[in-house]
Amino acid sequence: MNSGKRKARLHFAMKLKYPHDVLFECIRCGSCCRDTGKRRRKIVLTSADLDSITKTTHLPLNEFSRASHTAPKPFRRIMRENYGACIFLGDNSKCGIYDSRPMICRCYPFSVEWDETNSTFSLLRNDCPGLGRGIKLQKEFFEKLAQEVMSNFKTSEETRRDFRYQ
């Protein structure tokens, strides 16, 4: 079976839950890339995130991330910060590694809980300025995101483990 078919089979075996009636369009404001007065933003990284960022930036792991004893498994490390903002956040509030941004950034403003049979998306933050804009999110949006989350896990151990992106 080729990987496309395998992914499709995994995809259809999975039960997907997601919030309905949500309008959203990311305006790339960078608010989710930094601490605010109301919350601390911690960017946790999987091994696939780390590989992807290393490949894009050619930076050693320790320059953009640090080990964390508190990040829940399967996350390995945490993005380094600069005065409360992700080190890849540019002066223009744009992500400097947008095409290689970590999975947690791709999911925002939603959290996702995953186990072998269920994928449940919930609205994590309602202060994201992209909410209430653009189009009403349909099932296809969350299906695509769930596929991306699934393929982000590199090892079978990571894939099997229940986790929560938030």
Residues that bind ligand SF4 (CB under 6 A): 26-33, 43, 86, 88-89, 95, 97, 101-102, 105, 108-109, 128-130
Question: Torsion angle, CA of 12/15/16/17, rounded to 10 degrees?
Answer: 160
Q: Pick the closer one to ligand SF4 by CB: 76 or 101.
A: 101
Q: Pick the closer one to ligand SF4 by CB: 16 or 26.
A: 26
Rounded distance between C-alpha atoms, residue 137 and residue 141, angstroms = 6
The least CB distance from residue 62 to ligand SF4, in Å, is: 17
Rounded distance between C-alpha atoms, residue 117 and residue 119, angstroms = 7
Q: Pick the closer one to ligand SF4 by CB: 30 or 78.
A: 30
Q: Residues 143, 36, 42, 48: is their CA dihedral positive or negative? A: positive
The least CB distance from residue 95 to ligand SF4, in Å, is: 3
The least CB distance from residue 52 to ligand SF4, in Å, is: 10
Q: Pick the closer one to ligand SF4 by CB: 115 or 130.
A: 130
- Parallel, antiparallel or unpaired: strands 15-17 and 118-123: parallel
The least CB distance from residue 121 to ligand SF4, in Å, is: 14
- Give the residues across from 51 on adjacent strands: none
